[in-house]
Amino acid sequence: MELNEALERFALRMGDNTLILGHRVSEWCGHSPVLEEDIALANTALDLIGQTQLWLGLAGELQGNGKSADDLAFLRDAWDFRNLLLTELPNGDFGRTMMRQFLFDAWQSILLPRLAQSPDARVAEIAAKAAKEAAYHVERSADTVVGLGDGTEESHGYMQQALAYLWPYVGEIFDTDEADDCLAQAGVVPHFSTLKDEYYALITRVLTDATLDVPQDDFAHRGGRDGMRHTEHLGHLLTQMQWLQRAYPGANW
């Protein structure tokens, strides 16, 4: 596989992850349990959407057909998205939202600092910026997971359920294909398999602090990062997110 094509696929996946999760998190705006959490979630969503502009901007540049980050976000259909299934799952309750956030933040907090060392300056620049934000996000989501997991009997129950629901979506993070192999071989992006132990060590430590039982089952749902089988939830999300551009093509303000 050609390096340029591999990098385009990689940038699209990075951008789709932050776009879809950013949109999901923004759904909490005005609905959070307390004001501080509302503001925190909105700010997290904002960071993710900002990172999306950078990653999808790079993907569009590599595609070389003049598509902007906005074009990629608003004018593709479900089967063209390459985000992890984890990011498109519905918010559920606040605990599940924070558990999903933690499982994602933990991954970003490990991957992005590595990408910031990439010899490809475009990747390194975006990652260096995003890594600072991810470090801040994981601090908060890990604290919240511990606070609720090691909280009351009721909050503990919610977090254990959230973990059971989300766990089968964690494995997809470490799926790789020929694009990932190509980038790893060129030294542009580390092979995800080399980061797996670090990731599981981090989440196991936090989940243990949260007094939660870490599931041992390694069954994983797949089909997000290759676009082959998204969940039914993605289409519903897109009808919301893309509504304006589809109803009023080219709308601007």
Partner 1 sequence: MTRPSTEQVWEWLDQVPDPEIPVISLVDLGIIRDVAWMGDTLEISVTPTYSGCPATSFINMEIETAMRGHGIQRLALKRQLAPAWTTDWLSEKGIAKLEEYGIAPPQPAGGPARCPHCGGTHLERISQFGSTPCKAQWRCTDCLEPFDYFKCI
- The residues of the shown chain that bind partner 1, judged by CB under 8 A, are 36-37, 39-40, 43-51, 53-54, 121, 124-126, 128-130, 132-133, 136, 139-140
Residue 158 near residue 93 (C-beta atoms within 8 A)? yes
For every residue of the chain, which 3-state class applies, written as one string? CCHHHHHHHHHHHHHHHHHHHHHHHHCCCCCCCCHHHHHHHHHHHHHHHHHHHHHHHHHHHHHCCCCCHHHHHHCCCHHHCCCCHHHHCCCCCHHHHHHHHHHHHHHHHHHHHHHCCCCCHHHHHHHHHHHHHHHHHHHHHHHHHHHHHCCCHHHHHHHHHHHHHHHHHCHHHHCCCHHHHHHHHCCCCCCHHHHHHHHHHHHHHHHHHCCCCCCCCCCCCCCCCCCCCCCHHHHHHHHHHCHHHHHCCCCCC
Q: In terms of CB distance, is 39 or 251 closer to partner 1?
A: 39
CA distances from 11 to 82, 152, 213 (A): 10, 41, 34
139 or 213, CB closer to partner 1?
A: 139
> Which residue lies nearer to partner 1 by CB, 36 or 153?
36
Least spacing, CB of residue 181 vs partner 1, in Å: 27
Least distance (Å) from partner 1 to the CB of residue 140?
5
- Closer Cβ to partner 1, 14 or 179, answer by number: 14
Cβ proximity to partner 1: between 101 and 160 the closer is: 101
Minimum distance between the CB of residue 80 and partner 1, rounded to whole angstroms?
23
CB of 12 to partner 1, least distance (A): 17
Task: Compare residues 69 and 170 and give the one whose CB is closer to partner 1.
Answer: 69
Smallest gap from Cβ 219 to partner 1, in A, equals 34
Burial of 128 (0-12, 13-18, 19+ CB in 10 A): middle
Please choose, from the candidates 53, 25, 19, 46, the residue with its C-alpha nearest in 3D space to the C-alpha of residue 224: 19
CB of 94 vs partner 1, minimal distance in Å? 15
Min dist. Cβ of residue 81 to partner 1 (A):
20
CB closer to partner 1 out of 59 and 182: 59
